[in-house]
Amino acid sequence: MTDIFDDRRYLVPFRSALLPQLFADVLVIGSGVAGLRAALAAAEQGREVVVLSKRDAATSSTAWAQGGIAAAVDEADDPDQHVADTLEAGAGLCDREMVEMLCREGPGEIDRLVEWGMRFDRDASGAPMLGREGGHHRSRILHTDGAATGAALASTMIDRVRGTDSIRLFEECTAIDLLTMDNDPGSPVIGVLTHHPTHGLQVIWTAAVVLAGGGAGRLFRETTNPRTSTGDAMAMAWRAGASIVDAEFVQFHPTTLYVAGSVRALLSEAVRGEGASIVDRRGRPIMAGVHPMGDLAPRDVVSARITEVLAESGEPCVFVDATRISGGFANRFPGLASRLAEFDVDPATTPIPVHPAAHYTIGGVQVDADGASRVPGLFACGEVSATGVHGANRLASNSLLEGLVFGARAGRAAAECDDAGRRPRLLAEAPPRRAGELDLVDVRASLRSAMWRNVGIERDGEKLQDALEMIDFWGRYCLDKTFDDVEGWEIQGMIAAARLIVRGALARTESRGTHRRRDHPDPDPAARVRYGWVRGRETPVRIPVAVDAAEADPLPNRGRKVPS
Ligand code: FAD
Ligand code: SIN
C-alpha cells in the first residue's frame, strides 16, 4: 500500500518555467540566530546570499529568548566544565565531539557578537554579569536587560545582515519545498519553491540551502514558542530525503506563566538562578530531596516533578516563589515584572502561577559538524538540526550558542558548494490532487490537543499508538489535498512533523532525558543509541553514540522522588 507520508514529494503542483525565478549562491531559510549567523558566514566567503523569513525578520524563538547565552567566558570557568554539564544534562546521548566544539568555539562567537554591537549586562567593573540556570554547576549565562537577551541578539544580528550588501533578506516569504535534481528525494538540492503574499509562487535556484527554520513547539497546545515554530523545515527536509534523528526528544520548560487568558509566556529559569523556588499551593518547596541540584536540576527532572505534583494534587499549576530575590525581582527582571503586572501579579509579594509547556525541539535533521545533511547541498543549523549536542535533554541556554557556533560552520560549508553539473531538469507536474477545503483551524487545534494529551511530558505506548492513528487519519485526507495558502501548507508540514515525533516516541521503549514512558520507566542501556528515520523505512536506523566512562547512564527513575 502506498504510504501518503512517504509518497508525498511536493506540496504544490507546479512548472518552474511558468514561475518567476531568482538565483542565489546560498539560500538560507530562517532569520533566527542560526540562519543569520549562517548568512553572515557565507557572505564573508564572498557569496551572494538570500535569507527567507516566514514573517517579519524579528518574529522567531531567537527574539523571544530570555535567560541568555551559555558560554565559559569567566576566568574562573572552563569550557571543559561546560562540556561536563552539557553531557550530564544530555542523559547519555550527547555526541561528545560536537559538545566539545560547541563549548570551545562558543566564547569566540561571543567576542564576535560584541564586535557587532551586542550589549550584555555588565557590573560596575565592566565584567559581564553571569546568570545561572538548571543543570549548570556555575554561573555562565550572558544576558541583556535581565531576561530580554533574545530581542537584543535578534536586533544586533538583523542590523548586521541588513548592513551587508551581499545578503538580501526576504520577509513574509515562506519556503514551501526544497527542489532536488529530477525531483528525487535524496538527490542534490537545486532550489526552493517559495510563496510571498504579493509576489505569489516563485523558484529560487541555488547551489546550497541552509535550513534554519527553527523548531516545532507549536505542534503542542501548551507551548512557549512563537507562531513560526510549526516544524515546516523538518517536514520539508523529510520530503527531500534527509534523515531525521532524535525526533522523540521534545523539551518541556517547567515554568510558563499559568494565568487564564494570558499567552503561555515563559518565566525564565534565570529567576530560579537568582534564588526563587518552585512551591505548591501551600508554599511547600517541591524540588527538595528530588535531585542534588534542587530547583536548578535539569529541566526534564523539574518538569516531570511538577507533573507528578499536579497529578497528586489535582491542581492546575504550581508556583514560583520569587519573593526573596536579592535586590528585588523588578530590578533584575524588569521585562518579566512588567509582563506580570499586566496580569496583576506582583512577584515581590505573590508566588507566580506556572505550568510546564513544550519549549524546544531537540530532534531534527541529522547533520555533521559542518551542518551537512545526507542530501547533497542541504545544510541545517539551529533548532531544526540535530547535531547531537543536546543528547536526550538540552542544557539551558545552550541553543543560542549552538545557533551561533554551528550556524557559522554551516554557512562557511555552504559557501563552498557550487552548482556545476546540477542543471535543473525540471519539473514534471505533480499529479493533480483535490482542492483543499478543510476547516484548518479545527485540524490545527485537534492536532495540538492530541500532541499535548498523548505525546506530552508523561507518555505511554497506548496513548502514543492512539496519537499515531489519529495523525495517520488526518494525514490521509489532509496530505492528499492541494492548498494555495500558507495556512494549508503549514498544517501539512505539522502533520508530517508530528508523525515523526510520535513514531520516535513509540520506538524508544525506555525513559531517558525528556522522553518519559510510564510503561518503561527506566533507561535501557541497550537503547543508548540515537534513532534516525528516513523515507520509505518502517523502522529507525540505530546510530551509535560514543560511550565514554565520564558520561554515566542516567539514574533509574531519574527525577522521581528519592530519599533525602
Ligand atoms: P528561530 O529563532 O525559531 O528562527 C526560525 C526562523 O525560521 C524564523 O525566522 C521563521 O520565520 C523562519 N521560518 C520557519 N519556517 C519557515 C518557512 N517555511 N519559510 C521561511 N522561513 C521560515 N535558548 C537559549 O539558548 N537561551 C534562552 O534564553 C532561551 N530562551 C527561550 C525563550 C523562549 C520563549 C523560547 C521559545 C525559546 C528560548 N530558547 C532559548 C530557545 C532558542 O530561542 C531557540 O532554540 C533558538 O532561538 C532557535 O534559533 P533558530 O535560528 O534555530 O530558529
Ligand atoms: C529560560 O530563560 O528559562 C530559557 C532558557 C533556554 O531555553 O535555554
pLDDT tens figures, 240-268: 999 999 999 999 999 999 987 777 789 99
- Within this chain, do residues 152 and 260 fall inside the same structural domain, yes or no? no
At residue 66, the pLDDT reads 95
How far does residue 420's CA lie from ligand 1's centre (Å)? 33
| Ligand 1 mutation target, pool 263, 399, 486, 492, most atoms within 8 A of CB | 399
- Within this chain, do residues 393 and 480 fall inside the same structural domain, yes or no? no
Region 497-520: what's the mean pLDDT? 97
Q: Is the CB of 53 under 6 A from ligand 1?
A: yes
Can you tell me the distance from the alpha carbon of 257 to that of 104, in angstroms, rounded to the nearest whole number?
A: 34
CA-closest residue to ligand 1 atom 30: 65
Q: Is the CB of 269 under 6 A from ligand 2?
A: yes
Q: Can you give the C-alpha Rg of the chain in angstroms?
A: 22
- Within this chain, do residues 40 and 187 fall inside the same structural domain, yes or no? yes
Specify the 3-state DSSP secondary structure of 552: coil
- Within this chain, do residues 232 and 258 fall inside the same structural domain, yes or no? no
Closest CA to 106 of 343, 467, 399, 431: 399
At residue 421, the pLDDT reads 55
How far does residue 57's CA lie from ligand 1's centre (Å)? 11
Region 485-512: what's the mean pLDDT? 96
Grid coordinates representing 108? 569566540
CB 430 within 8 A of CB 468: no
Between 429 and 442, the more confident residue is 442
Among 27-31, 85-89, 481-485, the least confident range:
481-485
Residue 554 scores a pLDDT above 60: no
| Ligand 2 mutation target, pool 136, 143, 153, 268, most atoms within 8 A of CB | 268
Confidence of residue 353 (pLDDT cuts 50, 70, 90): very high
* Residue 1 belongs to a domain: no
493-363-25 Cα angle (round to 5): 70
Region 48-66: what's the mean pLDDT? 97
Q: Is the CB of 490 under 6 A from ligand 1?
A: no
Report how many domains make up the chain. Answer: 3
Catalytic residues: 299
How far does residue 78's CA lie from ligand 1's centre (Å)? 27
pTM, two decimal places: 0.95
Region 64-79: what's the mean pLDDT? 96
- Within this chain, do residues 347 and 495 fall inside the same structural domain, yes or no? no
Confidence of residue 420 (pLDDT cuts 50, 70, 90): low
Q: Is the CB of 270 under 6 A from ligand 2?
A: yes
At residue 555, the pLDDT reads 42
Sign of the CA dihedral running 500, 361, 406, 55: positive
Q: Is the CB of 268 under 6 A from ligand 2?
A: yes
At residue 547, the pLDDT reads 65
- As a whole number of angstroms, the longest Cα–Cα distance in the chain is 69
* Residue 426 belongs to a domain: no
* Residue 487 belongs to a domain: yes
Measured from the CA of 214, which atom of ligand 1 is nearest? 53
Residue 423 scores a pLDDT above 80: no
Grid coordinates representing 11? 506540496
CATH number of the domain within which 459 lies: 1.20.58.100
| Ligand 1 mutation target, pool 12, 28, 56, 60, most atoms within 8 A of CB | 60
Region 178-189: what's the mean pLDDT? 89
Residue 431 scores a pLDDT above 60: no
- Tens digits of residue pLDDT in 77-115: 999 999 999 999 999 999 999 999 999 999 999 999 999
At residue 549, the pLDDT reads 40
* Residue 425 belongs to a domain: no
Give me the percent of the chain exceeding a pLDDT of 90.
81
- Within this chain, do residues 112 and 229 fall inside the same structural domain, yes or no? yes
Sign of the CA dihedral running 542, 548, 550, 553: positive
Q: Is the CB of 232 under 6 A from ligand 1?
A: yes
At residue 39, the pLDDT reads 98
Specify the 3-state DSSP secondary structure of 405: helix
- Within this chain, do residues 460 and 405 fall inside the same structural domain, yes or no? no
At residue 425, the pLDDT reads 55
CB 84 within 8 A of CB 200: no
- Within this chain, do residues 289 and 195 fall inside the same structural domain, yes or no? no
Can you tell me the distance from the alpha carbon of 275 to that of 395, in angstroms, rounded to the nearest whole number?
A: 19
Sign of the CA dihedral running 490, 492, 494, 496: negative
Range of the domain at 184: 23-249+362-414
At residue 482, the pLDDT reads 85
Question: Alpha helices, DSSP H only, in 350-460?
Answer: 399-415, 440-454
Q: Is the CB of 255 under 6 A from ligand 2?
A: no
Residue 16 scores a pLDDT above 80: no
Sign of the CA dihedral running 34, 35, 38, 44: negative
Region 358-383: what's the mean pLDDT? 97
* Residue 41 belongs to a domain: yes
- Within this chain, do residues 241 and 259 fall inside the same structural domain, yes or no? no
- Within this chain, do residues 393 and 346 fall inside the same structural domain, yes or no? no
* Residue 138 belongs to a domain: yes
Can you tell me the distance from the alpha carbon of 72 to that of 80, in angstroms, rounded to the nearest whole number?
A: 9
CATH number of the domain within which 179 lies: 3.50.50.60
At residue 1, the pLDDT reads 40
Closest CA to 39 of 506, 500, 407: 407
Grid coordinates representing 87? 553531557
* Residue 122 belongs to a domain: yes
Q: Is residue 414 packed enough to be buried (19+ CB in 10 Å), middle (13-18) or exposed (0-12)? A: buried
Q: Is the CB of 29 under 6 A from ligand 1?
A: yes
CATH number of the domain within which 305 lies: 3.90.700.10
Region 119-134: what's the mean pLDDT? 95
Confidence of residue 558 (pLDDT cuts 50, 70, 90): very low
What is the C-alpha end-to-end distance of the chain, expressed in Å? 55
| Ligand 1 mutation target, pool 11, 51, 61, 336, most atoms within 8 A of CB | 61
At residue 184, the pLDDT reads 86
Can you tell me the distance from the alpha carbon of 515 to that of 534, in angstroms, rounded to the nearest whole number?
A: 21
3-state secondary structure 188-204: CEEEEEEEECCCEEEEE
Sign of the CA dihedral running 52, 54, 57, 58: negative
Can you tell me the distance from the alpha carbon of 477 to that of 475, in angstroms, rounded to the nearest whole number?
A: 6
DSSP string, 167-187: EEEETT-EEEEEEEGGG-TTS
Residue 130 scores a pLDDT above 90: yes
Measured from the CA of 35, which atom of ligand 1 is nearest? 51
Closest CA to 390 of 356, 411, 355, 364: 364
CA-closest residue to ligand 1 atom 26: 397
Minimum-distance ligand to the CA of 204?
1
Domain boundary among 323, 358, 393: 358
What amino acid is encoded at 370 in this protein? D
At residue 511, the pLDDT reads 96
Among 66-80, 155-169, 412-426, the least confident range:
412-426
* Residue 17 belongs to a domain: no
How far does residue 398's CA lie from ligand 2's centre (Å)? 9
Q: Is the CB of 194 under 6 A from ligand 1?
A: no
Minimum-distance ligand to the CA of 61?
1
At residue 560, the pLDDT reads 35
Q: Is the CB of 511 under 6 A from ligand 1?
A: no
CA-closest residue to ligand 1 atom 46: 62
CB 320 within 8 A of CB 272: yes
- Within this chain, do residues 97 and 37 fall inside the same structural domain, yes or no? yes
Give me the percent of the chain exceeding a pLDDT of 70.
93
C-alpha distances in Å from residue 484, one per residue of 55, 98, 366: 17, 40, 30
Confidence of residue 562 (pLDDT cuts 50, 70, 90): very low
CB 211 within 8 A of CB 238: no
Confidence of residue 481 (pLDDT cuts 50, 70, 90): confident
- Within this chain, do residues 35 and 133 fall inside the same structural domain, yes or no? yes
How far does residue 290's CA lie from ligand 1's centre (Å)? 31
Contacts (Cβ under 8 Å, ≥6 apart) of 498: 216, 219, 231, 447, 451, 455, 467, 471
Can you tell me the distance from the alpha carbon of 195 to that of 203, in angstroms, rounded to the nearest whole number?
A: 9
Minimum-distance ligand to the CA of 276?
2
Confidence of residue 33 (pLDDT cuts 50, 70, 90): very high
Q: Is the CB of 383 under 6 A from ligand 2?
A: no
Specify the 3-state DSSP secondary structure of 304: helix
At residue 557, the pLDDT reads 38
Confidence of residue 435 (pLDDT cuts 50, 70, 90): low
